[in-house]
Amino acid sequence: MAAGRLIERFERQLKDRGLPLEIVLWNGTTLRGAAPRVRLTLRSPRVLASLVNPTMGKLGRHYVEGEMDIDGSPREIIAVGELLSDSEQVLRGRAVRRFFHHSRHADRKAISYHYDLSDDFYALWLDRRRVYSCAYFRREEDTLDAAQEQKLDHICRKLRLAPGERLLDIGCGWGALAIWAAQHYGVHAVGITLSENQYNHGQQLVRELGLGDRVEIRLQDYRDVPEREPFDKISSIGMFEHVGKANLPVYFAKINRLLRPGGITLNHGITLNVLDRLELGSGIGQFVEDYVFPGGQLMHVSHVIAEMSRQGLEAWDVENLRPHYAKTLWHWGDRLEASREEAIRLVGEKRFRIWRIYLAGSAHGFDRGWMSLHQILAGKPVAGGALGFPLTRDFIYIP
């Protein structure tokens, strides 16, 4: 379609739909919708063609590749992006099923791509403990630092950690949970990660805090953890999204073998709010695969619980923290926005754009109910079938 006809067609869309957009074209022409809240500056007619028939993934790709600049707050940018696109596609539209072989080498490479970007970059927008997972807000006004400490404690209380117990934290990040559990609950914690940066930082923290006799950080794949001495408790926080649906039997079977009879495990991870899909539609899944989480897959919480059950782990408590993750992500996005210049200096303009759009888009997705965050607390029954949980959940919420 000729550029002139594209311009006429999109100008009609702006007026007919009352889109709150200002569009600056490659030739300097400006198109204005109703009360613009976001400005798009297009570098070529090809981008305008995407705007006439857009998906959220295509819009994000044009921005990341520098073919389009966007001015406005991240909240407004993502909201207007959804208005431009057909939001029905997100949960009902076509999503490509891609194959990713989750070998040890492939998983380590994918983890390195995402997590070994720059410790200083992550420090700009994470909390002071560098907890890179959903926080837990007891009050609307909680700071990110407070909410992340509350999350760490929430997990420890659910696991009923006690002095002297052995805790395995699969995908331990920069070591926050392992260190918190050792300091506040007296456990002996082993944290494993595939990220060199996280491993080095975690080891340094353990040394600085004098916790070498109680905390061990390993650069290790979960499949390679020795099974000769079972753990009392196992946590996996924000890691199983990297496992892949095909590998869930391997993953949960390994947890079962590593857990002593009567032991407890907690799986904390992002889930899709639609059945029988492994990613969001409207091009979002492809965008995340290409730019953010290679090999990542999401699934409905029912699939997770079913596979845990097949591998001998009985779900005892399931908590949906969807609003908590939306708040966490908006905190992260606002902090990144406030450190824009330093972020670009550390990782470059393209990487900054990826993270700017990814954090805001994810926050919007949790707000809209496209995704959730579930903590699934499960036990490995003893021979007689007992799990050993109290009759009520008071131990989680009542000090």
Q: What pLDDT band is residue 100 in, cutting at 50, 70 and 90?
A: low
- CA dihedral sign, ordered 97, 99, 102, 106: negative
pLDDT of residue 98: 60
* Same domain as 111, residue 66: no
pLDDT tens digits along 297-338: 899 999 999 999 999 999 999 999 999 999 999 999 999 999
pLDDT of residue 11: 79
Provide the edge-to-edge strand list for the sheet that holds 166-170.
215-219, 188-193, 166-170, 231-237, 259-272, 371-379, 314-320
Q: Which domain does 77 fall in, by range?
A: 3-85
| 304 is a domain residue | yes
* Same domain as 115, residue 213: yes
* Same domain as 309, residue 232: yes
* Same domain as 210, residue 61: no
* Same domain as 379, residue 293: yes
pLDDT tens digits along 344-391: 999 999 999 999 999 999 999 999 999 999 999 999 999 989 888 999
Q: Which residues lie across from 31 on neighbouring strands? A: 23
| 90 is a domain residue | no
* Same domain as 206, residue 136: yes
CATH code of the domain in which 53 resides: 3.30.1050.10
* Same domain as 120, residue 72: no
Neighbours of 385 (CB within 10 A): 7
| 156 is a domain residue | yes
| 97 is a domain residue | no
Q: What pLDDT band is residue 111 in, cutting at 50, 70 and 90?
A: confident
From residue 362, how far is each of 25, 49, 185, 325, 377 by CA, in Å?
28, 25, 33, 9, 24
* Same domain as 211, residue 62: no
Q: Which residues contact 251 (CB under 8 A, 6 or more apart)?
A: 222, 240, 243
Q: Does residue 241 surpass a pLDDT of 60? A: yes
* Same domain as 111, residue 70: no
Domain count for the chain: 2
